[in-house]
Structure 1
Amino acid sequence: MLDMMVVGAGYVGLAAAVAVKQAAPHLNIEVVEAAPAHVWEKDERASAIITAASKMLDVLGVWDDILVHSQPINRMIVTDSRTSDPVRPVFLTFDGEIEEGKPFAHMVPNVEMVRALRGAAERLGIAIRHGLSATAFTTTNTSTTVTLSDGSTIETKLLVACDGVRSKLRDMAGIRTVNWQYGQSGIVTTVAHERPHEGVAEEHFLPSGPFAILPLPNNRSSLVWTERTDDAERLIASDDLIFEDELQRRFGHKLGELTVVGGRKAFPLGLTLSRAFVAPRFALAGDAAHGIHPISGQGLNLGFKDVAALAETIVEADRLGLDIGSLNVLERYQSWRRFDTFRMGVTTDVLNRLFSNDITPIRIARDFGLGLVERMPKLKDFFITQAAGTGAEGNPKLLAGEQI
């Protein structure tokens, strides 16, 4: 019988398995992944990794491998304008360092992050079963039996669902969600540009939604471009000339001519918050527990916070001789993470509704607010430490760079 079975071999699932196994090597852990073995190598996206998450990845022994492929964010610029405006005034800027030599975030290619976490899992002896999905599970007082798509069954003390925002395991567990769609889609692509970005990230608030420019190594940038869903579908289906022309209008000309160097995909945007994070012998983590708007760049980092809290909960319970799958143990994880997740979900929802419109009185009020924050250094410092994940009290040990 397994001690812990993780369904989903993405960043969160792998990190959860590695974090627990590293701190408690005697626990028997396996990961099940529905996708084929090498599909992750085709992921062209990149993610912002905040300071707290990078500290955790450092403790897990993978940050050095990730860091060589990353781009530090040295500065953040926020503008608010219309697409047709000839000038985009800067309302708010943040210096990227939260302490000497440490930026608040790094941009990391997803493929390198998964590669490093898979390497750690392999070194720790964690088996990853590919091409299998969980089709059902039944729970008793002592274990959970999971049925896989090939008809086989696995018995485990704890089942951890990291199977995405449309989690089938969450539905099987009977956990309900708060859910709505924004009528927006996020277009994700990568561009090269003539002039260096110097590690500057920009977020342009446009009437259809935020347009984020995030620096990558080798003079490239990752884009998260929010549009109304019907417009996003039209842009994805358009030829390269039309797509790049629309892109340049939003990106601006400060970095010169742009060239799209990655594929382009659109993802529907919405808010999904699980009403519970746990059930007997069952826990949700990552997007299976919460899906938020990318306006704050915190989605993946919320998942890593889940990992840190869940791993500490499991390992400390095991050291005390407790049953790691019992509801009493798992409720500590839920209480640790549910409020923070709810707060971030509400924050991103309000920000998206506030900035994704062209109503003049609202525009005037929000620009006044941005300008006010710009003139208050202590408030800016507070926001940047919160964004970096270093300002919260009671963080799990891994997020502080400490071993469990």
Structure 2
Amino acid sequence: MRPISRSALRPHVCQTCRHGIGAGRRRFASQSGSPDLYDVVCVGGGPAGLGLMAALRASPITSKLRVALIETQDLTKAQAWNLEPTQYSNRVSSLTPSSVAFLRQIGAYDHLDVDRVQDYQDMQVWDGQTGSSISFDWSMETSPFEDPRTVATMTENANLVRALLRRIAQSGDENLSLFSNSTVASIETGSDLKPEGPDLSAWPVLSIKPTGPSESTPKRIAARLLVGADGINSPVRSFADISTHGWDYGRHGIVATLALGDLDIPPFPASKRTAYQRFLPALGGPIALLPLPNNHATLVWSTTPENAAYLKSLSTPSFLAMVNAAFRLEMTDLSYMMGMSSTSDISHQDELTWRTQHTALPSQVPPPATAVQEGTVASFPLRFRHAAQYVSPRVALVGDAAHVIHPLAGQGLNLGLADVASLSKTIQYAVSHGMDVGDLITLERYSSERYLPNAKIGGACDLLHKMYTVPGEGPVAWARSLGLGVVDRLPFVKSFLMKNAEGY
């Protein structure tokens, strides 16, 4: 934690709150070089940062706070984002029902393009080594006469960002500053410039400059509360001197947008959609196919860097053959195909066709991938990080600035939105009770709500990754198979796991 004066930690309701923020602004307005004062400053304009701004603007309790958001990208382009109805971004997230409820509560869900959003009601998961499987749905808690209950909702990140920006714009521009195309040049601790004014000796003071080359003087702003929503390499976290622990997995995630063929057996009811995930221990991680509208899907395949490079080097037909093989063939067959030369006389598709004739296909096999949207095949490294703490005097961390987890459970964005929901409620509580929103005692309320749940889910994903990257038929594979089978046969255990994963 960054060192600050003892006096800055002492008051529960600070001198600034007693005098009023407005009076402090008037005193500093005439001073040359004095920072502009804000109640909440958020660095980072992704879903977490924008979600916090939208939540604060939506609440009558916090809507009059003076707030600012700083983002290096062009927010006007993000707000004008648009793709053809049959085209989808490869940055897609799975929203749990609790995340959807939060977005509805702050009025952001109404601004989503629902034609680009896809619910799914079932998730099929199985082990490619042992064949053991489990299905996640809410059938154990719903009547057969009810419509299937949603497990999660797929949406493109760009669609969500645009919706949040539109919700923020709807709130008006009073007491709101959006610093788009701007970067934080420096963050330093302020000083007590005038005895009768607000004590800035613990306030973060930020210097903001345009992203591109500029000769203009950086703008200086001071934050009663500085929120870091600025990602894994968070400058806000560095300023607060908060350490992290974690490791790189030595794995890459391959993503792509795929068009799918039809299932051999149509789903019942017809509106039911299914997500698929198969663990591939011999190849370094799981492959997942998550539904999008218009019979499209997003691919997330965790594998070794060498395999990732190989997959990205393949032609489109060969890439599609490898994706389809990953859901259908045995580990030995997949390992062989992953080593095939791209200039071989036998194509990947021919190899897949021949091998599937001699393979007993899993019952839960997904529809075949038939096309790859141009320009969507990409990869990114997989990491685990967790901050030692989420708060420091006048600083709070949310989203990837606080925690980065393995994507196999699709919980990264949901944890960030849960952080934002908790922090916005903490700020509302402070304002309604006359407390300082940046005081450490105030912020501990947020930290105590979010630290353990995030650590629990991050640890569970880490354990699953490690268990399902052990190849072969040894005791670990046996334990995996037994565990999946037991959980799948105990509805109350499965329901408990789903409720924990989905935020209920």
Same fold per superposition (TM over 0.5): yes
How many angstroms does 1:132 deviate by? 0.8
Alignment-derived partner of residue 128 in structure 1: 178
State whether structure 2 residue 298 is matched by structure 1 residue 222.
Answer: yes
State whether structure 2 residue 274 is matched by structure 1 residue 200.
Answer: yes
Q: Counterpart of 2:294 in 1: which secondary structure?
A: coil
2:318 and 2:186 mapped to 1: Cα distance? Answer: 46
Match of 1:266 among 372, 375, 379: 379
Q: Counterpart of 1:379 in 2: which secondary structure?
A: helix
Alignment-derived partner of residue 335 in structure 2: none
4+ residue runs of structure 1 moved beyond 6 angstroms?
Answer: none
1:137-193 CA-to-partner distances (Å, cap 9, x unmatched) read 123454321111342211221111111112122122211100201100111111001
Q: How many residues align?
A: 385
Alignment-derived partner of residue 49 in structure 1: 95
Identify which range, 245-254 or 52-61, moves more after superposition: 245-254
Q: Counterpart of 1:212 in 2: which secondary structure?
A: strand
State whether structure 2 residue 218 is matched by structure 1 residue 176.
Answer: no
CA contact (8 A) 1:286 1:304 kept: yes
2:246 and 2:222 mapped to 1: Cα distance? Answer: 32
2:447 and 2:418 mapped to 1: Cα distance? Answer: 12
State whether structure 2 residue 51 is matched by structure 1 residue 15.
Answer: yes
CA contact (8 A) 1:37 1:131 kept: yes
Identify which range, 217-226 or 260-269, moves more after superposition: 260-269
Match of 2:152 among 105, 110, 113: 105
How many angstroms does 1:135 deviate by? 2.3
Q: Counterpart of 2:262 in 1: which secondary structure?
A: coil
Alignment-derived partner of residue 367 in structure 2: 255
1:188-244 CA-to-partner distances (Å, cap 9, x unmatched) read 111001115841011101111011111111101111100112221232233323322
Match of 2:319 among 212, 220, 243: 243
Q: Counterpart of 2:75 in 1: which secondary structure?
A: coil
CA contact (8 A) 1:73 1:96 kept: no
Task: Flag the structure with larger Rg.
Answer: 2
Alignment-derived partner of residue 387 in structure 1: 501
Alignment-derived partner of residue 148 in structure 1: 208
Q: Counterpart of 1:163 in 2: which secondary structure?
A: coil
How many angstroms does 1:65 deviate by? 3.5
Q: Percent same amino acid among aligned pairs? A: 32
How many angstroms does 1:315 deviate by? 1.1
Alignment-derived partner of residue 444 in structure 2: 331
Structure 2 stretches of 5 or more lacking a match? 1-36, 83-88, 191-198, 211-217, 329-364
Identify which range, 43-52 or 264-273, moves more after superposition: 43-52
CA contact (8 A) 1:134 1:169 kept: no
Q: CA RMSD in A?
A: 2.0
State whether structure 2 residue 402 is matched by structure 1 residue 289.
Answer: yes
1:321-380 CA-to-partner distances (Å, cap 9, x unmatched) read 111011111121111111111111111110100012213121121011101111111111
Identify which range, 56-65 or 66-75, moves more after superposition: 66-75
Identify which range, 34-43 or 125-134, moves more after superposition: 34-43
Structure number with higher strand proportion: 1
How many angstroms does 1:309 deviate by? 0.7
CA contact (8 A) 1:104 1:387 kept: no
CA contact (8 A) 2:90 2:298 kept: no
CA contact (8 A) 1:76 1:96 kept: no
Match of 1:33 among 46, 59, 71: 71
Structure 1 stretches of 5 or more lacking a match? 83-87, 391-404
State whether structure 2 residue 40 is matched by structure 1 residue 4.
Answer: yes
Alignment-derived partner of residue 86 in structure 2: none
1:272-295 CA-to-partner distances (Å, cap 9, x unmatched) read 000011111111100110000011
Alignment-derived partner of residue 139 in structure 1: 189
